[in-house]
Each structure stands twice: as C-alpha cells, then as structure tokens.
Structure 1
Amino acid sequence: MLLKGYYKKIEPASGAIIMANGIFLIGAVEAFPVLDQVYGKYLAFFLLVAWVIIYKDLSIQFFHRDFLIPFIQNPVNSFVIGTWIAGVSVLCNVFLRYFPEILLLTQAMGILNTFLWLFFVANCIYNFKQLVVDHRNYPVHGAILLSTVGTQSIIILLNNVFFQFPSYFSEAIIVLGLVFYLAGVALLFNRYIKHHDWSLTGDWANTNCIIHGALSITGLAIVTTNTFTPGFVIYFWILVFVLLVAVEAVEIIRAVKRVRHYGWNQGIFTYDVTQWSRNFTFGMFYTFSLIMQTNPFYPVPEWLYQFQRGFMDIWAWIVLLALIWEIAIFIKARAIMVYREKLIAH
C-alpha cells in the first residue's frame, strides 16, 4: 500500500553520493596510505552514517504515491534506481575492507540488494522497450547506462561477500550488463549523433561520463570473477582508457563553454547531484586497473604495466582532488540552502 501525506523530498539519484565516496575507499585510497591505514575506518563509518540518512529518505519517498507512480512511468529517470543498487554494493565492499568482522550483516545487505536488483532488471527491460517503441522524444542521457552499473555491481558484490560463483553464472550477468550497455549507447547515439537540436553547454548531461564508467565497472566485474581471457581484458582496458580520454576531453570543452556562457559560478561551481557520477566513474577506472594488476589470473605485458602504474600514480590524485572538489561545492550548496531557509523563517 502506497503512502500519502508529507515526506522529506530527496533527489532519487542521491545513491550516487555513496557510490562516489565508497569507490574511493576501495580503490584509489590505496595510493594514500595515511588516509587508508589511519583514517580509513573513520571515513568508512562516516560513509555508513551518510548511507543511513540518504537511504532512509529514499525508502520513505519511494513508497509515496505522488513520487513512485510518476517516477516509475518515466522511462529515463527511473534508471537512477541503479545508483541505489550500486551504492549498497559499494558500501558492502567498503565493509569487507574495513569491517570484515560484520560479514553476516554485509551478506544480509547483499541478499536484500539482489532482490532490489531483480526488480531493477525487470524495470530496465520495460524501460528500454518503451524508449525504443514509444516515439516520443525523451531526453535520453547517460543515466540509462546505470542499467549496466547496477547489474555489474551485483555480480561483484555476490562474488566478494559470499564465494566465487561458477564462471558461467558470472559471465551471464556480465553479458546481460553489456547488452544493457549496447542498448543504452544506441539510444545515446540516436540522440547526440542523429539529431542536431542540442548544445554542448545545455544538453550534454553530467551522467554521460557513465559511457566509460559503465565499462570500467564491467571490467572490474570481469577481473573480480576471473571470467573472459587475459587477452580480452587487455584490449578491453585499452578501450575503456580511450573512451575515458575522449569523453573527458568533451567534458573539458563543455566546462570552458559553460564558463563563457554562464559565468564561473553557474558554469562549474553550482552543485548538482548528477555530478557525483563523474567521481564514481573516475574512481571505478582506478579500481578496475588496480584489481587487474593485482589479480595473477590476468598477467599484464610489461609495457602496459608500466604505463598503467605511471597513469595510476597521476590518476589517484585526480580522483582525490575531484572528490574534494565535489564535497566542497556540496557543502556550499547546503550552506546556501540553510541560509535561505533561515531568511524565509524570519
């Protein structure tokens, strides 16, 4: 039965906050021993507190009629459920790293998350059908690739918190995520390549960085489950790296254009919840590269290993600085909101 009445509204994509901060704690943090070994458990605890606050509000909101029905009926926005699934998956992996003694609780969360994912898969299939069959001009953006992110996060979670699943099972889930990815990219191609009625400053979404992020988490799923061949993984990593460079080059051009058009404050200093997707994708590429290098099942040629290490030494700082930047503009936005509320109250 759906609820009625007042509830605290929260951005449906707020799960991305947990994704972005959590992936740092299971990946790039290894490049900063002080943050990892001295402050890691404290940061993980703060992440847990943030998760409780965010997911409590998301859960209450989800069961309210005036939110749920329009949300589910929107074939683009409802893909952000993928951030809820990936957020829990990342948090569980943070627990494994810093709080291994609560494994039973982590496994319970993993089971509940798997049931949510099953609902999400059905929702994704329905939404893709709607986007293909319904000829209305929906503003498709990178959020539809959360279908891949949520799916791959589940197989990573299950293999890490339970046991190594049979390779055919893991491969099936990974391939499903890739099918979702191809469907999503086809829809993005249709919007941005076939149609010309859009601008880089106003219509290129923050979530489009998931074009490479969804493949990074696919790569992480592969090297976590020991599926596919080492040769395939090497070429796959190169593909993701090329997409990372290409998409982020577009993002830099977009940032310059936005500053020229809107000014510094509105152009790049204004907070939006979708910006966390960039932090997540940055951190995910580092984590994919890290696990690929540490897994003996995937030997890396010496030339590629040296290139990866040199790149990761720089990339770790980019991941950290981008995260600090996002936290700073988030705090700024919250402070402005609180100040305005006080003005209204008086």
Structure 2
Amino acid sequence: MLLKGPYKKIEPASGAIIMANGIFLIGAVDAFPFLDIQIGKYLAFMLLITWIVIYKSLSVQFFHRDFLIPFIQHPVNSFVIGTWIAGVSVLCNVFIKYFPEILLITQAMGILNTFLWLFFLMNCFYNFKQLLSDHQDYPVHGAILLSTVGTQSIIILLNNVFFRFPVYFSEAIIILGFIFYLAGMMLIGNRYIRQKGWTLADDWANTNCIIHGALSITGLAIVTTNTFTPEFVTVFWIIVFALLIIVEAIEVIRAIKRIKLYGWNKGIFTYQITQWSRNFTFGMFYTFSLVMHKNPFYPIDDHLFQFQEQFMRFWAWVVLLALIGQIAVYAKSRIEAFSAGKNRQIQ
C-alpha cells in the first residue's frame, strides 16, 4: 500500500554516495595502510551510518504514491534505482572486509537487495522498450548504464556473501548486464547523433563517466566469479583502460570549457549529486585492476603486469584525492545552504 502526505524529499541518486565511498574502502584503500588498517573499521562504520540516514529517507520516499508512480515511469530517471542496488552491494562487501563477524546480517541484506534487483530488472526491460520504441529522441545519458552497474553488483555480492555460484549462472547474469550496456550505449550514441547544436559544456552529463565505469564493474564481476578466459580478460581490461582515458580526456576538456563560460565556482565546484558517479567509476577501475592482478586464475603478460602495478600506485592517489575533493564540494554546498537558510530567517 502506497503512502500519502508530506515527506522529506531526497535525491533519488543519493545511493551513489554510498557507492563512491564504499568502493574506495573495498579497493584503493589498500594502497594506504593507515586508512585501511588503523582507521578502516571507523570509516566503514561511518559509511554504515551514512547509509542508514540516506536509505531511510529513500525508503520512505519510495513508498509515496506521488513519487513512485512518476519515478518508475520516467524512461531515464528510473534507472537511478541501480544506485540503490549497487550501494547496498558495495556496503555488504565493505562489511565482509571489516566486519566478517556479522555475516548473517550481511547475507540478509544481500537477499533483500536481490529482491530489489528483480524489481529493478523488470523496470529496466520496460523502460528500455520505451526508449527503443516510443521515446527514441529522449535525451538519455550515462544513468541508463546503471542497469549494468546494478546487475553486475548483484552477481559480485552473491558470490562474495554466500558462495561461488555455478559458472553458467554467473556468466548469464554478466552477459545480461553487458547486453544492457550495449543497449544503453546505442541510446546514448543516438542521443548525441540526433541532437543538434549540443555543447560539451552544457550537454555532456556527469553520469557519462559510467561509460567506462559500467565496464569496470563488468570486469570486476568476471574476475570475482572466475568466468571467461584469461585472454578475454586481458583484452577487456585494455579496452576499459582506453575508454577511461578517452572519456576522462573529454571530461577535462569539458571542465576547461565550463570554467571559461561560468568561472571556477559555477563551472566545476558547484555540487551535483551526479558527481559521485565519477568517484565510483574511478574506484571501480582500481578495484577491477586489483582483483584481476591478485587472481591467479588470470595470468597476464609480464609487461602488462608491471604496467598495472605502476598504474595502480598512481591511480590509488587519483581515487583518494578525487574523493576528498568531492567530499569538500559537498561540504561547501551544505555550508552555503545552511548560511542561506539563516539569512532568510534573519530577513
């Protein structure tokens, strides 16, 4: 039964905050022993508190009629449910690492998250059909690739929290996620081909970094479940790495253009919830590389092995500094909102 009446509104994509911070604690934190060994459990506990606050508001909002019906019918915004699923999946993996003694609670969360994913799956099929047939001119963006992110996060979660699933089952879920990726990329490409007069500064969405992030989590799903061949994974990693360089080069050019048009503050230092997607994709590529690097099932050429080692040393700092920067931008927005509220009260 859906609720009625007033409620505190929250950005539906707020699950991305948990994704971005959680993936750091799963992967790149390994490069910083102090953060991992000395205060890792405290950071994980802070993430849990943040998750409770965010998901409490998301849950209340989800069951309100005036939110739910328009939300799930929206051909693009509905894919944001993928951040809720991936957020829980990431948090459960953080629990496995720092709080293995609460495995039963983690498993219960994993089961509930799987049911949410099944609901999301039906919604993905429905809205992909809408976009491919009835709304071909809709301005889609990288959020549509959360269909892949949510799907791959589930198979990673199930294999890590419960047991290693049969290879054919894991492969089927991974392939489904990849099919979502191909459909999403076709729609994103169609949007930019058909739309006339679009500009990089104003029409390139923050969520487009999921173009490489969705493949990174696909790679992580593969190396977590030991599916596909070492040769395939090697080629796949190189492709994802190339996409990371290309997409982030576009992001740098976009940032320069926005600074020229709007200045530093409005151009790149104004907070948007979608900015967390970049932190998640950065952290996800590191985690994909790390797990692949450590997995003896995937031997790779010595030259590539050495390159990965050197790159991960550098990339760990990129992940950390980008996360600190994003937290600072978020804190700045909260301080500004608080000051604006006080000024209105005085007036």
**TM-score, scaled relative to structure 2:** 0.99
The residue type paired with residue 269 of structure 1 is F
Q: Within 1, Cα distance between the matches of 2:217 and 2:210?
A: 10
Q: Within 2, Cα distance between the matches of 1:106 and 1:339?
A: 39
**Which residue is equivalent to 1:339?**
339
**Which residue is equivalent to 1:92?**
92
**Which residue is equivalent to 1:71?**
71
CA RMSD of aligned residues (A): 0.8
**Which residue is equivalent to 2:232?**
232
Aligned pair 1:180/2:184, yes or no? Answer: no
Q: Within 2, Cα distance between the matches of 1:121 and 1:258?
A: 36
**Which residue is equivalent to 1:118?**
118
**Which residue is equivalent to 1:276?**
276
Deviation at 1:197, TM superposition (A): 2.8
Between stretches 323-332 and 68-77, larger displacement belongs to 68-77
- Contact 2:210 2:281 (8 Å CA) reproduced: yes
Classify the secondary structure of the residue corresponding to 1:193: helix
Deviation at 1:139, TM superposition (A): 1.6
The residue type paired with residue 231 of structure 2 is G
Q: Within 2, Cα distance between the matches of 1:297 and 1:239?
A: 20
The residue type paired with residue 318 of structure 1 is V
Q: Within 1, Cα distance between the matches of 2:162 and 2:15?
A: 23
Q: Within 2, Cα distance between the matches of 1:36 and 1:145?
A: 30
Classify the secondary structure of the residue corresponding to 1:137: coil
Q: Within 2, Cα distance between the matches of 1:154 and 1:87?
A: 11
Matches within 5 A, 1:186-197: 186-197=186-197
Deviation at 1:343, TM superposition (A): 2.1
Matches within 5 A, 1:127-206: 127-135=127-135, 137-206=137-206
The residue type paired with residue 129 of structure 2 is K
Q: Within 2, Cα distance between the matches of 1:21 and 1:196?
A: 37
**C-alpha offsets along residues 88-113 of structure 1, whole Å, 9 cap, x if unaligned?**
00000000000000000000000000
- Contact 2:137 2:194 (8 Å CA) reproduced: no
Matches within 5 A, 1:241-260: 241-260=241-260
The residue type paired with residue 328 of structure 2 is A
Note the residue ranges of structure 2 that are not aligned, 5 or more in a row: none
Matches within 5 A, 1:47-66: 47-66=47-66
Between stretches 63-72 and 181-190, larger displacement belongs to 63-72
Classify the secondary structure of the residue corresponding to 1:263: helix
Deviation at 1:298, TM superposition (A): 0.4
CA, structure 1 residues 136+292, in 2 after alignment: closer, same or farther (shift >3 Å)? closer
The residue type paired with residue 53 of structure 1 is V
**Which residue is equivalent to 1:321?**
321
Aligned pair 1:38/2:71, yes or no? Answer: no
How many residues align? The count is 346
Q: Within 2, Cα distance between the matches of 1:145 and 1:227?
A: 22
**Which residue is equivalent to 2:82?**
82
**Which residue is equivalent to 2:24?**
24
The residue type paired with residue 301 of structure 1 is D
Deviation at 1:135, TM superposition (A): 3.6
- Contact 2:41 2:98 (8 Å CA) reproduced: yes
- Contact 2:138 2:191 (8 Å CA) reproduced: no
**Which residue is equivalent to 1:101?**
101
Note the residue ranges of structure 1 that are not aligned, 5 or more in a row: none
Between stretches 8-17 and 129-138, larger displacement belongs to 129-138
Deviation at 1:325, TM superposition (A): 0.2
Q: Within 1, Cα distance between the matches of 2:194 and 2:314?
A: 36
Q: Within 2, Cα distance between the matches of 1:97 and 1:341?
A: 40
Deviation at 1:339, TM superposition (A): 1.5
**C-alpha offsets along residues 217-246 of structure 1, whole Å, 9 cap, x if unaligned?**
000000000000000000000000000000
Q: Within 1, Cα distance between the matches of 2:323 and 2:183?
A: 30
The residue type paired with residue 342 of structure 1 is K
Deviation at 1:194, TM superposition (A): 4.0
The residue type paired with residue 342 of structure 2 is K
**TM-score, scaled relative to structure 1:** 0.99
**C-alpha offsets along residues 142-198 of structure 1, whole Å, 9 cap, x if unaligned?**
000000000000000000000000000000000000000000000011011343331
The residue type paired with residue 256 of structure 2 is V
Deviation at 1:73, TM superposition (A): 1.2
Q: Within 1, Cα distance between the matches of 2:317 and 2:246?
A: 20
Q: Within 2, Cα distance between the matches of 1:330 and 1:225?
A: 35
Q: Within 2, Cα distance between the matches of 1:118 and 1:197?
A: 39
**Which residue is equivalent to 1:303?**
303
Deviation at 1:38, TM superposition (A): 0.2
